[in-house]
Amino acid sequence: MAMGMFDKFLGFIGFDETEEQQEEKEAVDKRENLQQVKKKNAPVVSIHSGRQLRVVVCEPASFDEAHQIAENLKNRRAVVVNLEKAGPEQARRIVDFISGATFALNGDMQKVGQNIFLFVPSNVDIANELRKDTKEKSIFAWAKS
């Protein structure tokens, strides 16, 4: 009631709001109410994408197959490379090429066995307790110096 009297007083001395200003205020209030309703009714989205992680296993016999392995890394797939079929020189070239591709994609690599390597893109993390021990040893069995 006090507010109504104050509005009447402002109207009496000529400082009352015009109809346009009142309509503008009402429109703003309606927009704000609609935004609040939209926020309340927003769909809930799961953080987990449900997308499966694909791991590709390759046994390249020649350097020509290294390109396809790098393509798998570019497509954000983890790749296990078994180099038992490749000769020592071919194996070195393949690992060098894939290591470069992995580095360029901010990925990571890990030796998991004799002539077997795991290359992963940046969206995959390798957790291994033995990793500290393998860094001390040479990764490449054929590169003894």
Q: Is residue 104 part of a domain?
A: yes
Q: Is residue 1 part of a domain?
A: no
pLDDT, position 33:
67
Q: Is residue 100 part of a domain?
A: yes
Nearest to 95 by CA among 108, 81, 107: 81
Q: Is residue 84 part of a domain?
A: yes
Neighbours of 91 (CB within 10 A): 21
Q: Is residue 16 part of a domain?
A: no
Nearest to 92 by CA among 115, 69, 111, 109: 115
The answer to whether the beta carbons of residues 60 and 117 sit under 8 Å apart is no
d(CA 96, CA 119): 12
Instruction: State the total domains in the chain.
Output: 1
pLDDT, position 145:
45
Confidence (pTM): 0.55
Q: Is residue 70 part of a domain?
A: yes
Q: Is 127 left (phi over 0), alpha (psi -120 to 50) or beta?
A: beta
Q: Is residue 113 part of a domain?
A: yes
d(CA 72, CA 55): 9
CATH code for position 76: 3.30.110.150
Nearest to 139 by CA among 85, 90, 91, 87: 91
Nearest to 83 by CA among 113, 110, 106: 113
Q: Is residue 105 part of a domain?
A: yes
The answer to whether the beta carbons of residues 51 and 75 sit under 8 Å apart is no
The domain of 95 spans 55-126
Q: In this structure, which amino acid lies at residue 88? A: P
Per-residue model confidence as pLDDT tens for the chain (145 residues) = 556 676 666 666 666 555 666 677 777 777 776 666 554 544 555 555 556 677 889 998 888 889 999 999 998 889 999 998 888 899 999 999 999 999 999 999 999 888 899 998 888 877 776 555 555 555 555 555 4
